[in-house]
Amino acid sequence: MKVDTVIFDLDGTLIDSLEIYYKVLAMAFSELGLPVVDRDIVIRQLGSGLPDWDVLLPKGTRNKEEIISQCHQIILGLWPKVYREEADLFEGVPEILKTLRDAALTIGVATSGQLKELIVELLTRRKIYHFISAIVSRDDVPEPKPSPKSIQECLRLLEASPEKSVYVGDSVVDIQASRAARTRSIAVLSGAGNYEMLSREKPDFIIEDVRGLVDVLDLSND
């Protein structure tokens, strides 16, 4: 695949953070006196898009909207501390980003994650922020994927055309968003989506993790 621009999802793609999502959700549920949801159910929810609270909450939960609002507030309060302590890059991420930049590709990030300052802090600490020319988070574009708006905004900031760009992500909504944004798509198996889920969306490629980009992208400078 020959492209000029590679835009990445973050969680489950560049950053190993799915266990953090589960941990923080479990902490919030415990604080509210709710039974902790099975890990596999939570990860599957992450892979398919926004959480289905009818699945996550016990059947017959009263005052559901109030409980969901309280859960969101607790998660936002816990997230910065846990993220700073536990979030990290997947193995090989700094090397693959350097490889892409050395091949004169432009690199961007489009994520539905919030608290952009935490993202920048981590990428700076791990010495990869300078590889990335634009970052778009939910702080910038409120509509989460599968809306294509975060990818479209990243394309705008990078002055890149969708036809010459690829979006790399780990979930069904990543592929759906890339299709709506008219970019190519590459799915990775390092995060929330499994092969069966991702293959149904027909991405251009499915790879184990971002290190596999060297095998599917044309990195020549011609």
Q: Over the stretch 65-80, which tens digit does the pLDDT of each residue have?
A: 999 999 989 999 999 9
Q: Parallel, antiparallel, or unpaired: how do β-strands 15-16 and 88-89 relate?
A: antiparallel
Q: d(Cα 40, Cα 56) in Å, to the nearest integer?
A: 11
pLDDT at 18: 87
Pick the CATH number of 5-16+88-216 from 3.90.650.10, 3.40.50.1000, 3.40.190.290, 3.40.1010.10: 3.40.50.1000
Distance, C-alpha 130 to centroid of its chain? 19
Break the chain into its structural domains and give their ranges: 5-16+88-216, 18-86
Summarised one tens digit per residue, pLDDT across range 20-57 is: 989 999 999 999 999 988 888 887 777 666 667 878 88
pLDDT at 192: 87
pLDDT at 147 over 70: yes
